[in-house]
Amino acid sequence: MILRNITSDVFYVGSIDWDRPMFDELVPLPDGTTYNSYLVKGSAKTALIDTVHPAKTGELLESLRRAGVQSLDYIISNHAEQDHSGSIPAVLNLYPNAQVVTNARCKGLLSDALGVPAEKFAEVADGDTLSLGNKTLRFMLMPWVHWPDTMATYLEEDRILFSCDFLGSHLATSELFAIDEAKVYAAAKRYYAEIMMPFRNHVQKHLERLKSVEIATIAPSHGPIHARPSFILDAYADWASDRVKPEVVIPYVSMYASTARMVGYLAAKLAEQGLGVRVFNMVRADLGEVAVTLVDASTIILAAPTVLGGPHPGIVGGAFMINALRPKAKFISFIGSYGWGGATAEQLKKMLASLKVEFLTPVMVKGVPKGDDYKLLDELVEAIRSRHPGLTKGLGIDGQKGSRAVAGG
Ligand code: FEO
């Protein structure tokens, strides 16, 4: 359990999950995570902003006891996902007079998932305010960062934005604030890639709206608090922008090294042109690391041998993930080896139907790549290079260092 002051009347009462390995049985958590819950003590009323994961309920209740909370007036629920709402029934049990303050969509989800009775809710709309006496909470609906129900709560007097999932990071740390910004940046980018990237357009819209809000502190529901809001807001603005970087991501699978040879050749040739290259063997890749590279990359090449007439199953999960994450890449192609036929490239293309990209001519070769097959790969390299004007061989766009080739994987 953790009880720490943020200001004299605002407390952190969240929980650190140091060794949680996966989120939603889907997203690897190499650095654990936190479930941030905040207590705001006004002169007349007390509010709890979000709760914690059900497994950490005991810690939250103990923190509220240590904070001397005799009665609780409001539980502000910014988002119904149970890592933030899961303790609401237990908190209501301890403080039966508390009202759950949330928007209509979140109310419905909380009723469905947790059975919170209808009479416990106080429904709010975008822009509504709630007075705690000398403190005022203002609610800002922010759908799709992460679910349609998500909202942020703004504490006007202290200029604190409680942003819930938005602007957060999966990072277990005893540092309440983002002090080690390099470390937080990496965790926040991975979090953005895995959680927020599919909603990039919504992220852009919400960032634009926040420009008119005077924010001194951003207190998300995962990871450290931002006492320097521009750090995370600028990072999000970059990631969510339409700008891509001259980087090529190559997720691949290979059975007898033919596809791997093609990948190695392609990666080397692209790097010689000044493009950054990341190669991932999808049999053992950390999907979070793959997702991070998709935040900025201009180009994706899926590489796989043909099995039973279609792509090797090892690449299918990767294609599904890319389609679901909807990265801003502009160019996609496919390479791989086949034995006697098949429709690997066509099937992979169908799996990427949600992406608005230009599909470049694929290179599918029979057996081991040889002679003219390498010319076809050279043509693919040229097709990619020509779509990145300004590249300087070995240096990247406009001669800037920083393009990189990381092959193997
Ligand atoms: Fe951290 Fe969408 O829950």
> Which tokens hold the place of 366?
């029979």
Residue located nearest, by CA, to atom 1 of ligand 1: 165
**pLDDT reported for residue 394:** 57
Does the Cβ of 17 fall within 6 Å of ligand 1?
A: no
Nearest atom in ligand 1 to 35's CA: 1
Nearest atom in ligand 1 to 222's CA: 1
Q: Which residues pair with 160 in a beta bridge?
A: 155, 217
Beta strand 391-392 with 10-12 is unpaired
**C-alpha 190 – ligand 1 centre gap (Å):** 14
Span 26-39, pLDDT tens digits: 888 999 999 999 99
Confidence of residue 2 (pLDDT cuts 50, 70, 90): confident
Distance between CA 48 and CA 39 in Å, rounded? 5
Q: Which residues pair with 300 in a beta bridge?
A: 249, 332
**C-alpha 86 – ligand 1 centre gap (Å):** 11
**C-alpha 239 – ligand 1 centre gap (Å):** 19
Residue located nearest, by CA, to atom 3 of ligand 1: 81
Does the Cβ of 146 fall within 6 Å of ligand 1?
A: yes
**pLDDT reported for residue 405:** 37
Does the Cβ of 170 fall within 6 Å of ligand 1?
A: no
Tell me the pLDDT of the chain averaged across its residues: 94
Is the pTM value of this prediction over 0.75? yes
- Output the CA torsion 269→271→274→277 (10° steps): 130
Nearest atom in ligand 1 to 82's CA: 3
Average the pLDDT over 44-49 and give the result. Answer: 98
**C-alpha 206 – ligand 1 centre gap (Å):** 17
Does the Cβ of 165 fall within 6 Å of ligand 1?
A: yes
Nearest atom in ligand 1 to 221's CA: 1
Cβ pair 260, 368 in contact under 8 A: no
Average the pLDDT over 62-72 and give the result. Answer: 96
**pLDDT reported for residue 392:** 76
Does the Cβ of 120 fall within 6 Å of ligand 1?
A: no
Report which secondary-structure segment, H or E, holds 66: helix 57-66
Nearest atom in ligand 1 to 147's CA: 2
**pLDDT reported for residue 395:** 53
Report the share of the chain in percent with pLDDT over 90. Answer: 91
Q: Which residues pair with 405 in a beta bridge?
A: 277
Residue 399 has pLDDT above 80, yes or no: no
**C-alpha 188 – ligand 1 centre gap (Å):** 14
Does the Cβ of 50 fall within 6 Å of ligand 1?
A: no
Nearest atom in ligand 1 to 195's CA: 2
Does the Cβ of 107 fall within 6 Å of ligand 1?
A: no
Does the Cβ of 83 fall within 6 Å of ligand 1?
A: yes
Cβ pair 17, 32 in contact under 8 A: yes
**pLDDT reported for residue 276:** 97
Does the Cβ of 222 fall within 6 Å of ligand 1?
A: yes
Span 159-177, pLDDT tens digits: 999 999 999 999 999 999 9
> Which tokens hold the place of 183?
């470390």
Confidence of residue 401 (pLDDT cuts 50, 70, 90): very low
**C-alpha 162 – ligand 1 centre gap (Å):** 13
Does the Cβ of 81 fall within 6 Å of ligand 1?
A: yes
**pLDDT reported for residue 1:** 64
Average the pLDDT over 211-236 and give the result. Answer: 98
Q: How far is CA 102 from CA 93, 99, 105, 274, in A?
A: 18, 9, 8, 50
Confidence of residue 404 (pLDDT cuts 50, 70, 90): very low
Average the pLDDT over 11-34 and give the result. Answer: 90
**pLDDT reported for residue 391:** 86
Does the Cβ of 206 fall within 6 Å of ligand 1?
A: no
Q: How far is CA 27 from CA 204, 223, 280, in A?
A: 23, 16, 17
Does the Cβ of 53 fall within 6 Å of ligand 1?
A: no
Span 327-377, pLDDT tens digits: 999 999 999 999 999 899 999 999 999 999 999 999 999 999 999 999 999
Residue 408 has pLDDT above 80, yes or no: no
Report the share of the chain in percent with pLDDT over 70. Answer: 96
Distance between CA 288 and CA 310 in Å, rounded? 25
Nearest atom in ligand 1 to 146's CA: 2
**C-alpha 200 – ligand 1 centre gap (Å):** 16
Average the pLDDT over 291-313 and give the result. Answer: 97
Cβ pair 140, 153 in contact under 8 A: yes
Span 233-261, pLDDT tens digits: 999 999 999 999 999 999 999 999 999 99
